[in-house]
Amino acid sequence: MLDDKKYVITKNILESTHFLVLKDTSENAKYAHLTPGKLYPFSVDLDDQEYVIINDVGAITMEYMFHNGEYVRYKHT
């Protein structure tokens, strides 16, 4: 799932580069279009200055706020 040689789990979104999606059985997860085990890189919305990800159907979303998952940081080598 997560290559711990390349990534480390963080507690703070400000320290992360990606969102790691975990299994989520909530009603909302059915419509999130996020794949468990997949890493989604964070981008910053230029208008709102908020962290966003691109889901599996290409939509810009803040679904990471509601979906089960972990914040992770890419380790620079």
Rg (CA), the chain: 12
Average pLDDT over residues 8-19: 94
Query: Over the stretch 19-63, which tens digit does the pLDDT of each residue have?
Result: 999 999 998 898 999 999 999 999 999 999 999 999 999 999 999
Bridge partners (DSSP) listed for residue 60: 54
| Backbone torsion region of residue 58, taken as left when φ is above 0, otherwise alpha when ψ lies between -120 and 50, otherwise beta | left
Instruction: Kindly report the pTM of this predicted structure.
Output: 0.88
Domain range list for the chain: 7-74
